[in-house]
A and B are shown apart, each in its own frame.
Chain A
Amino acid sequence: MVYERRFLDRWIDLRNICRKSFYVACGEVIGDMMGKYAKKRLAVSTAVAAVGIVIALIIGLIGGYFAGSMAAAPATATVTVTKTVGAKTVTSTVEKTVEKTITSTVEKTVTSVKTVPAGPAVSRIVIGVTDKVTDIDPSNAYDFYTWEVLSNIMGGLMRYAPGTTELEPGLATGYTVSPDGKEYTFRLRPNLYFADGTPMTAKDVVRSIKRVMEINGDPAWLVTDFVKDVVAVDDHTVKFILKEPIAFFPALVATAPYFPVHPAYKPKEIDSDQTAGGVGPYRIVKWVRDVELVLEANPYWWQGAPKTKQIVIKFFKDATALRMALEAGEIDIAWRTLRPTDIQDLKGKKGIKVIEVPGAYIRYIIFNTKIPPFDNPLVRKALAAAVNRKAICERVFLGTTAPLYSMIPMGMWSHKDSFLEKYGEHNIELAKKLLKEAGYSETNKLKIELWYTPTHYGDTEVDVATLIKEAWEETGLVEVTLKSAEWTTYLEYTRKGMLGATLYGWYPDYIDPDDYTSPWVNASWTGYAYSNPELIEILKEARVKPTLEERAKLYEKAQDIWAEDAAIVPIFQGKLAVAVREGVEGVILDPTMLFRYWLIYKTS
């Protein structure tokens, strides 16, 4: 017992630590009294506990497996396609000429409103994204993904026909334009209801748009730059009075700031997490920021409830996890943004479809024409000629992007390959000639810095910059130093006009050539990098010319001037890719980049 006692002494010292020494020691004393039996019991109980843990683990794993397959089952097993309504019947496109009024073909679908269909139990589609939702409030949301969500829980007077860049009537049945082109009068559909059954009238449209103007958030300029006033003529008629005749006004009306919102939105401040929505195919039933967004079919929608009852959007932090979640069947659709390599990989996978569509997002180089040596047009032209667009598209983006030779993207009316006509593709000879003309030689090289931002445009950015550098240096007359700055810094330096050559990208606000030209000319955010009085005049004129032909001509001219000046050089146009599991149908994408959840459904 002597050694026991010594140990006990030590033990007690330790047990004091937890202030539970008394109880533990008592246990030990009792154990001691039980003598040898205690040891056996200890051994037996340890063995039993170990076996127990192993069994629990096995049960847990098996249970987990079954729980998982059970949880997944309803998502995959229910094949319920509600009646096909509306969407396909809408074929009318907007005539760009002002005299005509759009007549609707959709009114017949409104009859079912106000009766809540029993609907399928659950037909659910899960979409995974790495994007973020910013403000679920059209008065301040100004990013593509949030606009996508908004366009599924709300709607504008006009909208883009799925799969096209053509406008069609949304909440309105059509519009008329005054002879001077300054007044647009929209006629609303009868029987419009918000997702909770509250009727929507012209007053709601006016209230929502005035709200955007008053809050004056980030996208408010889409309204305030063009609209002087908006009035409700009667319950079903809204009149916009414009500052100047704007030919593309119906396209503006299709953007998020023009969406009518539910009266629940705070009248004078941004309501970031408001879930009341507007008049759209879905309503939000659950919203946990950065985790998930659950949308449920809106039974009151004017086109009738959409095909899929429930849309769940899961927010991923990581593109790799997004891809794996698709492969594991946790999500049905992997949307923005998969890595090019993942897209390439998924193309060959069984049970997965990759759908590609041209996107309207573009990438370009800005040369600040106020900073030497970029104030010299010869230098800019030489650099524009030397860029190797095909190499970038193929080597960095594995063919998921396409070379672009104009700021106005391919597929949009008036697009013209002005840069290709003028400089060709990867034209080293021309670049050499121009550089020599500008006074540079093998011994007196042109030394420039090319700036890029490492994460904002994805991990691929450094590769893009490197390939541009390689192409320029191929002339043998240029020496390029690559420099990078984090996004906020990058923007600030650019705004202050400190950077000579920078890489930027553009997502459209409205699908019109105006949105691909005006924002760069004499723009403060670029540090006034580029300005040309002639171009400014042309662009101004193009805004207000009433017919498409006249406008197209002006934009073609503008593109030629653009290429001649070579201050802002287009590089490539993005393609969108979405990967879906087999059985998911109705994925219709177009350059607006807005995914219409109300068209997708599952067949098996």
Chain B
Amino acid sequence: MLKFLFLKVTRIFSETEVASLKAFIIARALALIPTVLILVTLVFFVMRVLPGDPVIAIVGMKAPPERVIELKKELGLMDEAGNPIPLPIQYLNYLSKLVRGDFGKSLIWGKRPVLVEIMEHFPATVELAIAGFIVSIILGLVLGSLGGWMGGKTSSAVKTYGAITYALFIPWIGMLFQLLFAVWLGILPVAGRIDTGLEPPTITGLYLIDSVITGRWDSFMSALRHITLPALTLGLVISGVFTRVTRTSVEEVMRQDFVVAARARGIPEHKILLHVLKNSFVPILTMMGLQLALLMTGAVLTETTFSWPGMGTFLLERIQYRDYTTVQGTVVFFAIIVSLVNLIVDICYAYIDPRIRY
């Protein structure tokens, strides 16, 4: 048996496979460039084609005309002589800055670098996304495999659960949770990320982890209490898809010969379930990758409902203020993150299913 294992292991690390995997990763990474470029172009032009002058939106209707012109110059919409710069030139200027890693500066409130603003809000979203993801995976895997395993009525109940949660409207379910846990029971807070004055020192930016690292128990409890409702809301809504995929996948694997054979040989059911789960893991993993995009959109609504200071609320607010550079920067940032995650999922997927070869 050991010899057999050894053979397997050496095969994985063999020269050819690693080389082709490298090629695959490089190819996929290169494919990121056009994806991001298309997005950047779309966002750039859509933001500008939309009617409405961002400058007036920023300075307000009471501002004098000189101030409007001044700001337009500052934003690169007008040259020094006061002539408008053509859109294609603006676009090229923007791209050349972007490739140098310059996301530009925000148009409002202190005109801070966009990247700095993004990095301030990103950890909050990551924390919420991870927490929501964990909740959804637990719910999805447990209920899904239960449905697939038991079949019959349980299966259809799980199916219904999947459909209902998938259709849930985040602000609504969030509000119900707030009402139940915060207003009626009074055990969890309505909104926010942590209690005043309890923020742990920034290490990772994730309060839960930072407070553990620095050993601040009160901060940890406060952060945990605050994240519970948003994570439950987000997790519940996303768990629908997981449940469905897990259930179908488990059901499918259950019909395979090896399960019948294993049962025939009197293998205990729980052990069979373990095997079944592992075999049905491929589609679930794919779904996890795909869910990340949904997680981000879900985060926008969840964050608004719970006043969670993350990327979602940040983006929404800046769209309202028509803060071009920040919106562009944030969308590009999102695009890169989602693409990277997809890349990782693809690589994992290629591993899982040897038929998908580079």
Give the CA-CA distance A22 to B278 in the complex, in Å: 17
Q: Are A7 and B258 in contact (CB under 8 A)?
A: yes
Q: Which residue of B lies closest to A219 (CB)?
A: B62
Give min CB distance, B202 to chain A, whole Å: 12
Give the CA-CA distance A12 to B275 in the complex, in Å: 12
Q: List chain B residues, Cβ under 8 A from A3.
A: 258, 261-262, 265, 267
Candidates A21, A67, A290, A330; contact of B218 at CB < 8 Å:
A67
Q: List chain A residues, Cβ under 8 A from B265.
A: 3
Give the CA-CA distance A294 to B197 in the complex, in Å: 9
Q: Are A64 and B196 in contact (CB under 8 A)?
A: no
Give the CA-CA distance A21 to B61 in the complex, in Å: 65
Give min CB distance, A539 to chain B, whole Å: 17
Q: List chain A residues, Cβ under 8 A from B59.
A: 218
A488 within 8 A of B: yes
Q: Which residue of B lies closest to A328 (CB)?
A: B182
B192 within 8 A of A: yes
Question: Contact string, A440-457, partner B, CB cutoff 8 A, digits 1/0?
Answer: 000000000000000100
Q: List chain A residues, Cβ under 8 A from B57.
A: 487-488, 491
Give the CA-CA distance A238 to B313 in the complex, in Å: 45
Q: Which of A1-32 contact B (CB under 8 A)?
A: 3, 5-8, 10-14, 16-19, 21-22, 25, 29, 32
Q: Are A16 and B351 in contact (CB under 8 A)?
A: yes
Q: Which of B251-286 contact A (CB under 8 A)?
A: 258, 261-262, 265, 267-268, 270-271, 275, 278-279, 281
**Stretch from A275-283, A313-321, A373-381 forming part of the interface with B:** A313-321
Give the CA-CA distance A434 to B118 in the complex, in Å: 58
B305 within 8 A of A: yes
B123 within 8 A of A: no
Q: List chain B residues, Cβ under 8 A from A22.
A: 5, 9
Q: Which residue of B lies closest to A525 (CB)?
A: B61
B134 within 8 A of A: no
Give min CB distance, A73 to chain B, whole Å: 12
Q: Which of A268-314 contact B (CB under 8 A)?
A: 270-273, 286, 288-292, 294, 312, 314
Question: Contact string, B174-213, partner A, CB cutoff 8 A, digits 1/0?
Answer: 0100110011001111111101111000000000000000
Residue of A221, A291, A329 most packed against chain B (CB within 10 A): A291
Can you report 24 residue pairs joining A to B where beta carbons are below 8 Å apart? A3-B258, A5-B1, A11-B278, A17-B352, A19-B12, A61-B187, A63-B221, A64-B224, A67-B222, A68-B189, A71-B218, A218-B67, A288-B309, A290-B317, A292-B192, A314-B192, A317-B303, A318-B304, A320-B175, A324-B183, A325-B191, A328-B183, A329-B186, A509-B62
Closest 6 CB pairs of A and B: A272-B110, A488-B52, A489-B52, A488-B57, A17-B351, A67-B221
> With A14-B352, A67-B218, A218-B59 in contact, do A330 and B9 touch (Cβ < 8 Å)?
no
Give the CA-CA distance A329 to B271 in the complex, in Å: 50
Give min CB distance, A314 to chain B, whole Å: 7
A553 within 8 A of B: no
Q: Are A290 and B309 in contact (CB under 8 A)?
A: yes
> With A21-B8, A270-B110 in contact, do A488 and B53 touch (Cβ < 8 Å)?
yes
Q: Are B61 and A491 in contact (CB under 8 A)?
A: yes
Q: Which of B30-85 contact A (CB under 8 A)?
A: 50-54, 56-57, 59-67, 70
A109 within 8 A of B: no
Q: List chain B residues, Cβ under 8 A from A64.
A: 187-188, 221, 224-225, 228
Give the CA-CA distance A294 to B228 in the complex, in Å: 25
Give the CA-CA distance A37 to B192 in the complex, in Å: 49
Q: Are B187 and A492 in contact (CB under 8 A)?
A: no
Q: Are B188 and A68 in contact (CB under 8 A)?
A: yes
Residue of A12, A18, A221 most packed against chain B (CB within 10 A): A12
B307 within 8 A of A: yes
Question: Contact string, B9-33, partner A, CB cutoff 8 A, digits 1/0?
Answer: 1001000000000000000000000
Candidates B61, B218, B307; contact of A321 at CB < 8 Å:
B307
Given contacts A5-B1, A290-B313, 4 further A-B contacts (CB under 8 A): A8-B4, A12-B8, A16-B8, A317-B303
Q: Are B306 and A321 in contact (CB under 8 A)?
A: yes
Give min CB distance, A545 to chain B, whole Å: 24
Q: Are A17 and B8 in contact (CB under 8 A)?
A: no
A60 within 8 A of B: yes
Q: Are B53 and A491 in contact (CB under 8 A)?
A: yes
Give the CA-CA distance A19 to B192 in the complex, in Å: 40
Q: Which residue of A lies closest to B348 (CB)?
A: A17
Q: Are B52 and A29 in contact (CB under 8 A)?
A: no
Q: Which residue of B lies closest to A315 (CB)?
A: B307
Q: Are A60 and B224 in contact (CB under 8 A)?
A: yes
Q: List chain B residues, Cβ under 8 A from A112.
A: none
Candidates B64, B175, B190; contact of A330 at CB < 8 Å:
B190
Q: List chain A residues, Cβ under 8 A from B189.
A: 68, 325, 328, 330
Q: Are A292 and B56 in contact (CB under 8 A)?
A: no
Q: How many residues of B contact A (CB 8 A)?
A: 80
Q: Are A492 and B56 in contact (CB under 8 A)?
A: yes
Give the CA-CA distance A7 to B258 in the complex, in Å: 8
Q: Are B190 and A272 in contact (CB under 8 A)?
A: no
A134 within 8 A of B: yes
> With A17-B351, A135-B110, A328-B182 in contact, do A291 and B225 touch (Cβ < 8 Å)?
no
B92 within 8 A of A: no
Residue of A68, A488, A494, A525 most packed against chain B (CB within 10 A): A488
Q: Which residue of B lies closest to A509 (CB)?
A: B62
Chain B contacts to A: CB under 8 angstroms: 1-2, 4-5, 8-9, 12, 50-54, 56-57, 59-67, 70, 108-112, 171, 175, 178-179, 182-183, 186-193, 195-198, 218, 221-222, 224-225, 228, 258, 261-262, 265, 267-268, 270-271, 275, 278-279, 281, 303-307, 309, 313-314, 317, 320, 322, 348, 351-352, 354
Q: Which residue of B lies closest to A61 (CB)?
A: B187
Give min CB distance, A527 to chain B, whole Å: 11
Give min CB distance, B317 to chain A, whole Å: 7
Q: Which residue of A lies closest to B110 (CB)?
A: A272
> With A12-B5, A16-B351, A488-B54 in contact, do A524 and B65 touch (Cβ < 8 Å)?
yes
Give the CA-CA distance A314 to B195 in the complex, in Å: 10
Q: Are A321 and B178 in contact (CB under 8 A)?
A: yes
Give the CA-CA distance A325 to B226 in the complex, in Å: 13
Give the CA-CA distance A132 to B187 in the complex, in Å: 28
Q: Are A29 and B2 in contact (CB under 8 A)?
A: yes
Give min CB distance, A31 to chain B, whole Å: 11
Give the CA-CA distance A486 to B290 in the complex, in Å: 33
Give the CA-CA distance A253 to B221 in the complex, in Å: 48
Q: Are B225 and A67 in contact (CB under 8 A)?
A: yes
Q: List chain A residues, Cβ under 8 A from B2.
A: 29
Q: Are A525 and B225 in contact (CB under 8 A)?
A: no
> With A16-B351, A290-B309 in contact, do A492 and B224 touch (Cβ < 8 Å)?
no
Give the CA-CA distance A489 to B196 in the complex, in Å: 39
Give the CA-CA distance A512 to B340 in the complex, in Å: 58
Q: Are A324 and B110 in contact (CB under 8 A)?
A: no
Give the CA-CA distance A68 to B194 in the complex, in Å: 11
Q: Are B268 and A39 in contact (CB under 8 A)?
A: yes
Q: List chain B residues, Cβ under 8 A from A288.
A: 309
Give min CB distance, A47 to chain B, whole Å: 12
Give min CB distance, B227 to chain A, whole Å: 11
A327 within 8 A of B: yes
Give the CA-CA distance A5 to B4 in the complex, in Å: 10
A142 within 8 A of B: yes
Q: List chain B residues, Cβ under 8 A from A10.
A: 258, 275, 278-279
A339 within 8 A of B: no
Give min CB distance, A57 to chain B, whole Å: 11
Give min CB distance, B288 to chain A, whole Å: 13
A216 within 8 A of B: yes
Q: Are A134 and B108 in contact (CB under 8 A)?
A: yes
Give min CB distance, B28 to chain A, whole Å: 17
Q: Are A491 and B56 in contact (CB under 8 A)?
A: yes
Q: Are B62 and A519 in contact (CB under 8 A)?
A: yes
Candidates A286, A317, A324; contact of B178 at CB < 8 Å:
A324
Give min CB distance, B53 to chain A, whole Å: 5
Give the CA-CA distance A23 to B2 in the complex, in Å: 12
Give min CB distance, A136 to chain B, whole Å: 9
Q: Are A328 and B62 in contact (CB under 8 A)?
A: no
